[in-house]
Structure 1
Amino acid sequence: MLILKFESLMGYFPMIEFIKNYQDNKRRIYQEPSIDIYNEEYYTKECGGSEIFKLSQGSELDDVRSYVLKLCSLKPGDTAIDIGCGRGELLFALANHELHHVVGIDLSQESVNLSLQTCQQQIAQGQVTVKNMSATQLEFDNNTFDIAFMTDLVEHLSDANLRQAISEAYRVLKPGGTLIIHTLPTINFKLYGQYITKYYFRLKSIDWPTPTTKEEIVFGHINIQSKSSLKLYLHQSFLSNDIQVFYAPVNPNGLLKKLITLLGLWSIMSPHLWAIAKK
């Protein structure tokens, strides 16, 4: 009877869940999974934005990638690289901004294949190039690109590989070039925000799944960041006064999100972490 009562309490008090799972959710870096997990099913069913991708065949962006474009100042004639290009929808959107050239690279051959399909027309017109390549060894000259993107890549890289990937991004950027990063979830969200969010939706009789460490590993999320940890990685290549790292929602609408904005609680409630670094 006591056990049953305790289990029922677990469903209603997010702090009890927080205490129970604290050790599992603290920041730790796991070994990178096999590249084989990044298959077609991963990109078309499990990866963020997959539903919009299936409906639009890559011609429309999900909220995350739409927000990414809002963070950069694109000019006709710029060159861009999407490091970890996934399905290629960001390449498609960038090509429509009349950039001089857009390059997408990914270590997963399945990603490359999907990106080639998404950007068939742009590739034929010479606007886009897609290559099977590691983020830690970019096969481009120094000072090649005006802007570089790392969208949902950081969390998939080991400590050493993330350091090297950021160093490589810095190397291939032109002086004055910009690196834009998005990563999720965040440490604060895993420790606090997910339980508060779950409790809020439970009050509205809506089931909201709580991510677990095991699930993150299954999806290849082996290096979850905080604002301070991502800053440290960037500081190794970029000057500190040219780095911005911040928490923000991709869509601030809705009663709960407006309340979080009013209270200034996005540092613990947003699963999204963003960075803008200039060379």
Structure 2
Amino acid sequence: MTDPDALTPPAVDPAVYDEEYFRTCCGDADAWEQRRDVDGIYAYALELLGVDASTTLVDLGSGRGELVVAALKRGAPRAIGVEYSPDAVRLAHDTASAHDLDDRAEFREGDIRATGLDPAIADRAAMLDVVEHLTGPELADALVEARRLLRPGGRILVHTMPNRLIYDATYRWLRRLWPRGRRWPADPRNEFEHAMHVGELSARQLEAALVTAGFADVDVRHGELVYFAFVPSRIAQRLLGALDRVPALRRLTRANLLATATRPA
């Protein structure tokens, strides 16, 4: 087990992920702000993981705590969130309180590369919208830690956005070939992505990271999110929408990635 005190400082300082970020920009912030919602993608994630009344879950990079709370509401006997932003941990406690789960939801402020949790503590692990915020070495360490936390046969779910190909391949080529496309920004990423996204991956890169960390049964797929707002031309956006109807091209049009893998028995 890695000693948390031996870790190098994270590439993105925890202070960047402040309360304003989690209240306005992270996930479905409006739904959380209005009603501390834990449905939507969190319910879908639990369905994919097969979380039930016998499942212990560890959520690595737990943010506002929605997945932990959703797991407990689904019947999980134990759910633990690990998050290095102190502001997020405070908001996670707000989420648990709103659902009368203060006494059961567990949130730890710490680094997901070295959580300090006991080995083989969990049946399921999740990393939702965390990968893109980690450098390659940080992701490698975090996945090894996730594997350590899982019991043999336990499963992890990873969700990340963006699939880096939509920017580094699709946008780049469209900008080069589109009439007056050279007038578009050279890099379509917004200010938050520039500040926080230090590890965007393609499907192949995510698969390789999971395999290298020692996971088996690795399945990486492109999600359902079609996102073209970063393309300045509406006509070009419609063209990309048409291309998305061709399954073989979806690796260039789908914005998110979903991966599942298991810790070998």
Q: Per the shorter chain, which TM-score range? A: 0.7 to 0.9
1:63-107 deviation digits (Å, cap 9, x = unpaired): x43432332212212100110010111112111110010001101
Q: C-alpha displacement at 1:228, in angstroms?
A: 1.2
- 1:228 maps to what in 2? 204
Distance in 1 (CA, whole Å) between partners of 2:190 and 2:66 is: 28
1:144-202 deviation digits (Å, cap 9, x = unpaired): 1000000011111122111110000000101110110001111211134558999xxxx
Distance in 2 (CA, whole Å) between partners of 1:162 and 1:108 is: 17
Counterpart amino acid of 2:212?
Answer: Q
- 1:122 maps to what in 2? 101
- Three-state SS of the structure 2 residue aligned to 1:119 is helix
1:4-52 deviation digits (Å, cap 9, x = unpaired): xxxxxxxxxxxxxxxxxxxxxxxxxxx8222211000010112121112
Distance in 2 (CA, whole Å) between partners of 1:228 and 1:263 is: 17
Task: Name structure 2 gaps, 5 residues minimum.
Answer: 1-9, 176-186, 228-237
Distance in 1 (CA, whole Å) between partners of 2:256 and 2:34 is: 24
* Pair 1:237-2:187 in alignment: no
* Pair 1:60-2:74 in alignment: no
* Pair 1:170-2:154 in alignment: no
Q: C-alpha displacement at 1:212, in angstroms?
A: 2.0
Contact 1:193/1:270, CA 8 A, preserved across alignment: no
Matches within 5 A, 1:93-104: 93-104=70-81
Counterpart amino acid of 1:168?
Answer: E
- TM normalised by structure 1 equals 0.75
- Three-state SS of the structure 2 residue aligned to 1:190 is helix
Counterpart amino acid of 1:217?
Answer: H
Structure with greater helix share of residues: 1
Greater RCO (CA < 8 Å, at least 6 residues apart)? 1
Contact 1:67/1:250, CA 8 A, preserved across alignment: no
Given candidates 28, 34, 41, the residue that maps to 1:49 is 28
Counterpart amino acid of 1:134?
Answer: D
- Three-state SS of the structure 1 residue aligned to 2:117 is coil
* Pair 1:188-2:165 in alignment: yes
- Three-state SS of the structure 2 residue aligned to 1:99 is coil
Distance 1:227 1:251, change over 3 A: closer
- 2:115 maps to what in 1? 138
What is the CA RMSD across the aligned residues, in angstroms?
2.6
Distance in 2 (CA, whole Å) between partners of 1:44 and 1:148 is: 24
Contact 1:115/1:130, CA 8 A, preserved across alignment: yes
* Pair 1:273-2:257 in alignment: yes
Q: C-alpha displacement at 1:141, in angstroms?
A: 1.5
- Three-state SS of the structure 1 residue aligned to 2:88 is helix
Percent of aligned positions that are identical: 25
- 1:86 maps to what in 2? 63
Matches within 5 A, 1:190-269: 190-193=167-170, 211-212=188-189, 215-218=192-195, 220-240=196-216, 242-250=217-225, 260-269=244-253
Alignment coverage as a number of residue pairs: 230
Distance in 2 (CA, whole Å) between partners of 1:115 and 1:250 is: 26
Structure (1 or 2) with the larger CA radius of gyration: 1
User: Runs of 4 or more off by more than 4 Å in structure 1?
Assistant: 192-198, 255-259
